């Protein structure tokens, strides 16, 4: 029997540290499903594990792509499943870690299949994004498909446009195409969730942003500024500093927006992961021995 032990939870909660401890205990390798850490040009703003952390256990899917590549959750599902087949030949346990709920679900449950939509729909939505701004599209999605509006990262224009594209092009909600029967997996998933009181999560996020700035986040963003319209860069920490570099907001406000949007993101992550009743939740300060004991009772 193969087991995929998956560590989930909000940003900055300590998933990386726990996944490494689990990998060392089970002599397993780690698959990262953090959709922001795939890209080699983005390091500080995506909180890529430190070199000593990467050396402590074998990691896959970290900084393995370029922001110039079109890389979707569908690509990741296929590549991750292929990698799992390889890893299960060596060990019947693999660790997966990340806060990108859609990517976690793609590996464990399989992707939903959506209808093909005429490209003109997306073109029109992109034009509206430029003219009217993101809020207009957010409001339309809230009207057309409130369920999806509550579930996705609404600060991400790519996700908003994708959902609207399906709603408009098919005449049905984006959410109606979800949760259909999927291809069975050759592993048993074990999901471990890390959490904490909201105040603690928010404080950890605020401190992480401060640390990113100390490490040189602004310099990293400046180096990417000419590429600011690439899809991979439409994400928290980069988008706000691009606005600062554009001169539309000042630096202090940009930083406060990064912290605010990161806190919102964490809230949505928890909402997503809490939907799965099979996840075992632990406080972020829980002794790792207790988590390992819980896992071993199920293997």
Q: Which of 44, 28, 10 is nearest to 292 (CA)?
A: 28
End-to-end CA distance of the chain: 9
148 is in an annotated binding site: no
Instruction: Note whether 110 and 81 are within 8 A (CB).
Output: no
| Tokens matching residue 233 | 């860069």
Instruction: Note whether 227 and 233 are within 8 A (CB).
Output: yes
189 is in an annotated binding site: no
Q: d(Cα 196, Cα 178) in Å, to the nearest integer? A: 30
Q: What residue spans of 145-250 are helical by DSSP H?
A: 146-151, 157-170, 198-215, 217-224, 239-246
Q: How far is residue 220 from each of residues 45, 71, 131, 217, 228, measured CA to CA in Å? A: 8, 21, 28, 5, 12
- The sign of the dihedral angle between the CA atoms of 49, 51, 57, 62 is positive
Q: Strand order of the sheet with strand 93-97?
A: 59-60, 30-32, 93-97, 3-8, 188-195, 280-283
12 is in an annotated binding site: yes
Helix or strand holding residue 17 (H, E): helix 15-26
- Our CA angle for 35, 33, 50, nearest 5°, is 85
| Tokens matching residue 165 | 């594209």
How is residue 30 annotated by DSSP?
Answer: E
13 is in an annotated binding site: yes
154 is in an annotated binding site: no
Q: d(Cα 213, Cα 265) in Å, to the nearest integer? A: 19
57 is in an annotated binding site: no
In which residue are the tokens 């060392």 written?
A: 24
Binding-site residues, in ranges, read 9-16
Residue numbering of the annotated binding site for substrate? 11-16
Binding residues for ATP: 9-16
């Amino acid at each position: 029997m193969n087991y995929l032990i998956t560590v989930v939870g909000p940003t900055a909660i300590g998933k990386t540290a726990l996944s490494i401890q689990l990998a060392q205990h089970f002599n397993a390798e780690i698959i990262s499903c953090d959709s922001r850490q795939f890209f080699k040009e983005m390091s500080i703003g995506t909180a890529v594990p430190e070199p000593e952390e990467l050396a402590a256990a074998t990691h896959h899917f970290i900084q393995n792509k370029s922001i110039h590549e079109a890389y979707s959750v569908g690509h990741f599902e296929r590549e991750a499943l292929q990698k799992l087949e390889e890893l299960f030949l060596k060990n019947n346990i693999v660790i997966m870690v990340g806060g990108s709920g859609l990517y976690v679900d793609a590996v464990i449950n399989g992707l939903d299949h959506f209808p093909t939509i005429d490209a003109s729909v997306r073109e029109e939505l992109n034009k509206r994004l430029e003219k009217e701004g993101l809020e207009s599209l957010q409001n339309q999605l809230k009207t057309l498909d409130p369920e999806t509006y509550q579930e996705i990262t609404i600060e991400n224009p790519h996700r908003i446009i994708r959902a609207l594209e399906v709603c408009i092009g098919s005449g049905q909600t984006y959410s109606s195409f979800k949760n259909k029967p999927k291809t069975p997996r050759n592993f048993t998933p074990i999901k471990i969730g890390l959490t904490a009181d909201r105040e603690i999560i928010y404080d950890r996020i605020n401190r992480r942003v401060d640390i990113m700035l100390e490490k040189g986040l602004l310099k990293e963003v400046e180096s990417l500024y000419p590429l600011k319209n690439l899809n991979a860069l439409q994400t928290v920490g980069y988008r706000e500093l691009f606005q600062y570099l554009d001169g539309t907001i000042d630096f202090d406000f940009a930083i406060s927006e990064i912290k605010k949007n990161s806190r919102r993101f964490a809230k949505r992550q928890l909402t997503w992961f809490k939907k799965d009743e099979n996840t075992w939740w632990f406080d972020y300060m829980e002794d790792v021995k207790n988590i390992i004991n819980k896992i071993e009772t199920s293997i």
